Amino acid sequence: MSNLRRIAWILFVSTAAPLALRAQPYGPPDRSEPGDEMIQAYLSREAEKVSAGWAEDVKSLAEWEQKRLQYVEEYFYMLGLSPRPERTELKAKITGSIVGEGYIVDMLHYQSRPGLYVTGNLYRPAGDLRSESAARSGDRAPTRLPAVFYVCGHSGRGRDGNKVAYQSHGIWFARHGYVCLIVDSLQLGEIAAFHHGTYNLGRWWWHSRGYTPAGVEAWNGVRGIDYLCSRADVDPERIAVTGISGGGAATFWIAAADERVKVAVPVSGMADLESYVSNRVINGHCDCMFLYNTFRWPWTRIAGLVTPRAMLFVNSDNDRIFPMDANERIENRLERLYSLFGAGDRVDAVVSVGGHAYRKDIRQAAYRFLNANLKGDARPIDDSEIDIVSEGREPGPYPIAPERLRVFPHDRNIPRDQLNTTIDEHFVPLAKAELPKGTAGQASGGTQQNEFESWRKSTVSELKRVSFSYFPEEIPAAKHIARSYDGVSRMSSEEGIEFGLVRAREAGLGGQQSGVVLLAVLNDDEAGKTPGWLAEVATNNEAIVLCQPRGIGATKWTRKNGPNYVERSHALLGRTVDAGRVWDVIAAAKFLGEQGGGKNKVHVTGKGAAGIIAAYAAALDDSIAAVTVVQPVATHMDSSAPQFLNVLRVCDVPVALGLIAPRPLTVIGGPADAASAVKSIYRAAGVEERCAMK
């Protein structure tokens, strides 16, 4: 922040808004279920731990530069862009043009990937017509102009696309010597798709697939810059990106992903983990605002990838979804990082008085910053309020009638090959699991087992890297806290997390006698009872212990669809609720294994989703002796399946079951094709007889 602007802001805070920098929660915390306080405290504590990682980022410039390539690869992975999508032909097409007073608008579309259409309006100076004519005649090349890629906020404009709400920006830029491309966002474009998959649409497989619409918005932006750089009237060395709200977030996604962006002006587009998670600000945002924080980044690191390129960080002092306490933390962190580069003059901040919206001072500051950094002209802006489209549900007047800005004038013009509406099913490729060679009989004996173990080790390693990355090297045994009046033993698996164990049958537990303990993992609707399916699984000489993982039974928390606060907050911390339940099962199994003088063998079992959780616990921890899964789902794409971040980029359910080999596995029910795949993996391990399908 410049000294002048910093002094102005300090005076404003001290005189006009003394409470501005206090934490600003987004509504009161839920308190309707017994586990609410536990899970909220856990999430808050973990958010603080992740955010503390920022201290490592600003130790020295040398360390930042050393880690930068790693950060870039992690960043693309967390957006669902690793491996990088192919830069296929854009097939850009202009479907119409409008000549206005000092500007021209082209209605155009391009395909950021085959079938993924991006609709936009390209604003350019009217003088370009003469330049283009001269260039065609061979007289001279057209003048190369600075360009702005403008990303729209969540301003619903129906069939016209949200680009029409921001046309005044395009007009201003064109009149002032810029080429400006304003594109529709995925959800609010002419071909409307979805930003709310986990917010309220129940598409939890987005987590397992590693799909976030933030990745689409980022890639659409990168390819939009490809288009701008391909134009003869654009200077590829003078590219900027800007936008407000969802467009502010997308400004970060694009600028961090593409170093061709020389200037970034995000307006009300980023808070931090303390705000999103601890203060529940995530509840005010849809899914396009977030990547899945697989590698547990302090959130400001995303903005840090723009360093040392020019950035103007803009916010409003009364913005509920980008509150000032988060704004101040991010500003301070960015200034520290820029200072390492000796580039403190390239980052600045503006705070406007008001709510979540554009105002005159924001427009003036944004335009001036862009002029200064792309044109070397830092003069104040005195004409920012011409042709302004008012905000709100009833905007207007429009300089250009919205329907005139449509790229596809009629529904019949929308391409039949569009994948926009189903892009969540295509954008991030599924893993192509390479099964161990023994499945086809190429190996035998010790060689076969070695090849299987090598395959198993690498697969488990990748799962630990991208799906269970927050797990320690070894999960410790759970600790017993107390036993409640209803017979549930309160256990602690990790700091601040409790779950329940119920000893349904005592045989084999305690003393020095070794035995088998059957640990039955329960689903939510099974809490408080012994499920009937256990009779088909248990034998007469086993002890039976029922496991109620976090969020089930006495630790159940509130679920509201949307905003699904608990589940979505987990993804911002590099985990899922179901991954936490895997942790609980491992911790419970180790606790039970230590009973009976440490000689007990623990078998785990579960039905449906709980059975898959039990299976992953065994796949990740060899201390579990055997597994029985009842009626498993075949894929994490199933709405009833447990979800783990990015798991479908590594493997699906059949492979996870196969990772239990060489230990015994029994599968009761479930799809036949999945059973066949599991059987083939056990065959590769040379222990086919230990895999029973019933």
Q: Are residues 346 and 474 in the same domain?
A: no
Q: What whole-number distance in Å separates Cα of residue 498 and Cα of residue 604?
A: 19
- Residue keyed to tokens 């003036």: 364
Is 10 domain-assigned?
no
As to burial, measured by CB atoms within 10 angstroms (0-12 exposed, 13-18 middle, 19+ buried), residue 197 is buried
Q: Do residues 642 and 205 make contact, with C-beta atoms less than 8 angstroms apart?
A: no
- pLDDT tens per residue across span 78-107: 999 999 999 999 999 999 999 999 999 999
- pLDDT tens per residue across span 363-379: 999 999 999 999 999 99
Q: Are residues 377 and 491 in the same domain?
A: no
- pLDDT tens per residue across span 416-460: 999 999 999 999 999 987 788 764 444 445 666 788 999 999 999
Q: What whole-number distance in Å separates Cα of residue 381 and Cα of residue 368?
A: 6
Q: What whole-number distance in Å separates Cα of residue 170 and Cα of residue 173?
A: 5
Query: Which candidate, 686, 20, 4, places its Cα nearest to that of 353?
Result: 20
Q: What is the largest CA-CA distance in the chain?
A: 97
pLDDT computed for residue 497 by the predictor: 98
- The yes-or-no verdict on residue 137 having pLDDT over 80 is no
Q: What whole-number distance in Å separates Cα of residue 468 and Cα of residue 475?
A: 12
Q: Are strands 516-521 and 543-548 parallel, antiparallel or unpaired?
A: parallel
Q: How far is residue 683 from each of residues 354, 400, 481, 511, 688, measured CA to CA in Å?
A: 66, 67, 43, 38, 4
**Which of the 8 DSSP states describes residue 276?**
I
- The yes-or-no verdict on residue 224 having pLDDT over 80 is yes
Q: Are residues 590 and 672 in the same domain?
A: yes
Of the candidates 371, 402, 425, which is a domain's last residue?
425
pLDDT computed for residue 132 by the predictor: 46
Is 559 domain-assigned?
yes
- pLDDT tens per residue across span 501-560: 999 988 655 444 458 999 999 999 998 889 999 998 988 788 999 999 999 999 999 999
Q: What letter represents residue 379's amino acid? A: R
Q: Are residues 454 and 405 in the same domain?
A: no
* Contacts for 51 with CB less than 8 Å, ≥ 6 apart: 272, 273, 274, 298, 299
Is 21 domain-assigned?
no
Q: Are residues 394 and 352 in the same domain?
A: yes
Q: Are residues 399 and 463 in the same domain?
A: no
Of the candidates 397, 425, 453, which is a domain's last residue?
425
User: Where residue 441 sits, what CATH number does that domain have?
Assistant: 3.40.50.1820
Structural domain that includes position 259: 34-425
How many domains does the chain divide into?
2
Q: What whole-number distance in Å separates Cα of residue 67 and Cα of residue 130?
A: 48
- pLDDT tens per residue across span 18-61: 334 467 899 999 999 999 999 999 999 999 999 999 999 999 99
Is 11 domain-assigned?
no
Q: Are residues 448 and 301 in the same domain?
A: no
pLDDT computed for residue 514 by the predictor: 55
Is 373 domain-assigned?
yes
Q: Are residues 382 and 448 in the same domain?
A: no
pLDDT computed for residue 445 by the predictor: 52
Of the candidates 376, 393, 425, which is a domain's last residue?
425
Q: Are residues 101 and 245 in the same domain?
A: yes
Q: What whole-number distance in Å separates Cα of residue 540 and Cα of residue 508?
A: 11
* Contacts for 604 with CB less than 8 Å, ≥ 6 apart: 518, 519, 520, 521, 585, 589, 614, 615, 617, 618, 624, 626, 627, 628
Is 15 domain-assigned?
no
| Cα dihedral sign, 624-628-630-631 | positive
Q: What percent of the chain has pLDDT over 70?
A: 92
Q: Structure tokens of 680?
A: 């083939």
- E strands, 134-223, in order: 145-151, 179-183
Q: Are residues 419 and 455 in the same domain?
A: no
Is 147 domain-assigned?
yes
Q: Structure tokens of 73?
A: 């690869």
Q: Are residues 497 and 586 in the same domain?
A: yes
The pTM of the full predicted model, rounded to 2 decimals, is: 0.93
As to burial, measured by CB atoms within 10 angstroms (0-12 exposed, 13-18 middle, 19+ buried), residue 393 is exposed
Q: How far is residue 365 from each of residues 151, 311, 327, 386, measured CA to CA in Å?
A: 17, 12, 17, 15
Q: Do residues 460 and 620 make contact, with C-beta atoms less than 8 angstroms apart?
A: yes
- Residue keyed to tokens 């579990």: 624
Mean pLDDT of the chain: 91
Q: Structure tokens of 164?
A: 């029409």
Q: What letter represents residue 295's amino acid? A: F
573: number of Cβ within 10 Å? 20
Is 7 domain-assigned?
no
Q: Do residues 129 and 104 make contact, with C-beta atoms less than 8 angstroms apart?
A: yes
Q: Are residues 501 and 401 in the same domain?
A: no
Q: Is 519 helix (H, G, I), strand (E, B) or coil?
A: strand
- pLDDT tens per residue across span 609-655: 999 999 999 999 999 999 999 999 999 999 999 999 999 999 999 99
Least confident of 2-6, 120-124, 342-346, 472-476: 2-6
Q: What letter represents residue 239's amino acid? A: I
